[in-house]
Amino acid sequence: MARTFPQKKTTHAPFAFFFLILYSVAVLVRPHEAFEVSRYWTVIMYLAIFCFLGILATLRPLTISIQEKLLLGLVPVIMLSAFANGYGMKGITQSQAMLVGSIVPLFLYSSLLTSIKRHHIIMFVCLIAAMFMVHNGHVQRASFDGYGWTNTRFVGDGRITYMGFFQDPNDIGLFLVMCIPFTVYFMHNSGYAIKTLFFTMLCAILYGVYLTDSRGTFLGVAGLAGIYLLFTKGGGRVIVFSLITAPMFATLIAARGGMSSSDSSANGRLEAWYSGLHEMFLHNPLLGVGKGNFVDFHGRTAHNSFVHVVAELGFLGYTLWGGTLFVTVLLGYNIVKYRKKLLLKSKESEDIEEQSDQQKLILAELKLSSTLFFSLVAFMITGFFLSRGYVLVLFIFLGLNIAAQRRLISLVPDIYGSTIGPFITKSLIAPWVMIVLVYITLKIT
């Protein structure tokens, strides 16, 4: 799962983690953009640099996960894809953006979150950011001119916006849905006051989802609830069958107008998916049409992260991108199964007094990793109806997952369920199973 460079001692880089907290606040809450005097300061870039240098100088051991290796392979693929399609300089710019805006942030989070406590801090920052977004959106809807306290204005018929890359209501909705498992996590086994606080946050997040008026986000909430019940209550065969058929059902939902208030809009979405797979990918199977070029070929965005990536980056790029996502998701699935099996053998509430410190730590890590897994599930459901394959939020949450899984693997090495080779192979095949099922369903509909 990860390659460890030999080091003399273990250190956890508290100085770098301090800058990671500031970076998280700057990226998600974005307080510097709320004021005219500091709106264009390059705060985020400098915090990322300080954090990165702090990792290199003080964090030991340094590790590189398989996900980070796959994403690093994506950088030259983006350049090759651009040159093959006659967009050489654009490819260099896009590959730099991928490195700085996606791979480096993932490395920061996956490296520095070396304890459950550090995870809790970043998760709480995410929830605070969600509360700011919802409150600003509420002010936008309540004001006579549509402006919130961040000086951002709602769009359309009242769809809320926020600062930075959250100016699109769909991005706000995606982030809010991915934060829902955090509120449930903190509510579990908490005292009445803490439980009430996070239940209130959950209600606020659902209200924020409503304010985004994002149909993909609505389906994300419904799908997340369904998947959670399926994974916690369903049997193994039912879960596997549901996962295999989910892309086909999702495509049928879009085909029947479940994503839109009009047939023309639903058909337009399906046409974009079909164009991405049939006209872009199949005509450029190895390298795609180039990152950032989907709209140039079709005229509108794909409204599907998986179709978007495979159309733009072809077989090589989609395998690396999808492999990064599915290695993390499938390992998370194994963790959820392992935790469920462990809790069936010994009820935590009854045996907590008899458990050793090691057992308690394993249960705590399993609970955290399971929560983060459901956050990625939220992305996969919502991202199936939105083109968000390269957004920073995805790579932040991937970093959160990788860091937690890395610690858990050190405690439970057999969590893969098989040897590492077959597991990685399965993870690289899984995204293609999804694409094939979507394409078959499109041909049928």
Mean pLDDT of the chain: 89
What pLDDT does 18 receive? 97
What pLDDT does 261 receive? 47
What pLDDT does 256 receive? 58
pLDDT tens per residue, range 182-231: 999 999 877 888 999 999 999 999 999 999 999 889 989 998 998 888 88
pTM to 2 decimal places:
0.92
| Mode of pairing for the β-strands spanning 59-60 and 11-12 | antiparallel
- In Å, how far are 95, 175, 198, 316, 409 from 181, measured between CA atoms? 32, 11, 11, 32, 22
Q: Could you give the CA distance from residue 197 to residue 193 in angstroms, rounded to a whole number?
A: 6
The residue-averaged pLDDT of 39-47 equals 92
* Domain ranges (residues) in the chain: 1-61, 68-112+234-445, 116-213
What pLDDT does 416 receive? 74
pLDDT tens per residue, range 4-14: 545 457 888 99
The residue-averaged pLDDT of 123-145 equals 96
The residue-averaged pLDDT of 43-54 equals 96
**What is the SS3 assignment for 61?**
coil
How large a percentage of the chain has pLDDT more than 90?
67
Per-residue pLDDT at 264 exceeds 60:
no
Contacts of residue 444, Cβ cutoff 8 Å, sequence gap at least 6: none
DSSP string for 177-222: HHHHHHHHHHHTT--HHHHHHHHHHHHHHHHHHHHHT-HHHHHHHH
Please return the burial class of 304, using the count of CB atoms within 10 Å of its CB with bins 0-12, 13-18 and 19+: buried
In the structure, what pLDDT confidence band is assigned to residue 407 with cuts at 50, 70 and 90?
A: very high
